[in-house]
Amino acid sequence: MQYRTLGRTGIKVSPYGLGALMFATTMGNAPEESARIIHKALDAGINLIDTADAYGDSEEVVGKALQGRRDGVVLATKFGRPDGQDPNRQGGSRRWIVTAVERSLRRLRTDHIDLYQLHRPDPDTDIEETLAALTDLIAAGKVRAIGASQSPASSIVEARWVAERRGLTPLHTEQPAYSILNRGIEREILPTTQRFGIGTLVWGPLGQGMLTGRIRRDAGTDVRRAGLVRHLSDERRVDVVERLIPLAAEAGLPMTHLAMAFAIAHPGVTTALVGARTMAHLDALLTGLDVTLDDDLLDRIDAIVPPGTDVGVLDQAHQPPALTEPALRRRPPAARAAA
C-alpha cells in the first residue's frame, strides 16, 4: 500500500478509504458483519474510515468495531446535518459544534477525532464562527485536523482567507463527489485544493452504483426496472456506462477497478471513499488496490466524458440555496416593475 499525505497535515492515509454510511443498521447490516468488513479492510492496509453523525448509528457501529484497533486508524466523521427538528441542532455554529463533537466522541468510543468535517456548507453561519470553534477543539486535543464537504471553490478560498486573517486553523481537507461520471470538480475545486495544499477525500467514485457494471440497458437491469434512486434514471449516465464497459473489458479490468483507479489517478485526489456494504463488495474492491491506468486509457476515458464535466447530478450532491430557492434568483415584483 502506497500511503499518501493528507494535505499538509503530515497524516498518512491509504488511497482507498472506507466510507461508513453502509454500516448503519438501517442499511441492512448487522453490527457484527460490519465489524468483520472493517477489520478486513484494516488488515488489507486501508487505514482511513469516514463516517458522520447523520449516518444513523454508523458512528456507534464503527466505534465498537475499532475497540483495540483505534490507534492504527485515521478516523474521520462529520457534523452539521440536521439532528431532529430543533433549528439549533445543525449547521456550523459554535453552539452546535461543541455539542456535536461530544456526542460523536461518545458514540465512537474515543477521546479524539482525527478529521472533523462540516458536512454541508452553512450559509447562515459566518465561516469565522465555525473555524474559531474548530480551532478551539484542536487546542483542546479533541480533534486533530478539520475539513469541509461539498464546498464551492469560492468558499474554500474564503475559509482560507479568514483563517489567515484571524489567526485560525485553516481547513485541512475537502470532501467532494468525484467519479468518471461526475468530473465537475476538475474545473475549480481540485485546482483550488491543490493550490492551498488541501487534502481531498472524494466520495461516490462508483457513481452510486452506476459504475459497478451491474447496470445495463438491455440485460434486465435497466435503471427504471432496477428500482434505484431517481438520479440513476438519467439516460445520459446509462449511455456513458455502455461506452465504458467495453473499454474496461478491453483493458482486462472489472468496471469497479477502472472506476476506482480513475478516481485516485488525479494528482489532486488524496483518497477515494468506498462504501462496501458486504464482504463480497469489499473483496472485489481489494483485488483492485494495485490497479493503475496508463495515459492511453485515461485519454480514452476523457474522450467519453470530457474533463471537468458532469453527466447528470448525484442525488446526494449538495445544491446551494442560490439554485434551490427561486426567491434568490428573482428581484421583488416592485423592483422588476421599476426596471
Measured CA to CA, the distance from residue 119 to residue 28 in angstroms comes to 23
At CA 233, angle to CA 288 and CA 329, rounded to 5?
Answer: 110
Q: What pLDDT sits at residue 277?
A: 87
Measured CA to CA, the distance from residue 243 to residue 306 in angstroms comes to 13
Q: What pLDDT sits at residue 140?
A: 98
Q: What pLDDT sits at residue 322?
A: 72
Check: CB of residue 309 under 8 Å from CB of residue 183: yes
- What does DSSP assign to residue 21? G
- For the ranges 170-179, 251-260, 280-289, the lowest mean pLDDT is seen at 280-289
pLDDT at 338 over 70: no
Measured CA to CA, the distance from residue 65 to residue 33 in angstroms comes to 10
Counting residues of the chain whose pLDDT is more than 70, the rounded percentage is 91
pLDDT at 233 over 90: no
E-state strands within 65-153: 74-79, 113-118, 143-149
Check: CB of residue 58 under 8 Å from CB of residue 51: yes
Stated pTM of the model: 0.90
Closest CA to 301 of 237, 251, 244: 244
pLDDT category of residue 339 using cuts at 50, 70 and 90? low
- 122-166, pLDDT tens digit by residue? 999 999 999 999 999 999 999 999 999 999 999 999 999 999 999
Catalytic residue among 16, 55, 116, 178: 55
Active site residue 55: yes
Q: What pLDDT sits at residue 226?
A: 46
φ and ψ at residue 35, rounded to 5 degrees: -65, -40
Measured CA to CA, the distance from residue 111 to residue 104 in angstroms comes to 10
pLDDT category of residue 316 using cuts at 50, 70 and 90? low
| Mean per-residue pLDDT of the chain | 91
Place of cell 430557492: 325
Task: Dig out the grid coordinates for 327 from the structure.
Answer: 426567491
pLDDT at 222 over 50: no
pLDDT at 23 over 60: yes
pLDDT at 323 over 90: no
pLDDT at 268 over 90: yes
Q: What pLDDT sits at residue 224?
A: 45
Measured CA to CA, the distance from residue 288 to residue 299 in angstroms comes to 20
Check: CB of residue 315 under 8 Å from CB of residue 208: yes
Q: What pLDDT sits at residue 108?
A: 98
Domains of the chain with bracketed CATH: 4-338 (3.20.20.100)
Measured CA to CA, the distance from residue 61 to residue 102 in angstroms comes to 17
Q: What pLDDT sits at residue 191?
A: 97
Q: What is the identity of the amino acid at 305?
A: V
Measured CA to CA, the distance from residue 11 to residue 46 in angstroms comes to 14
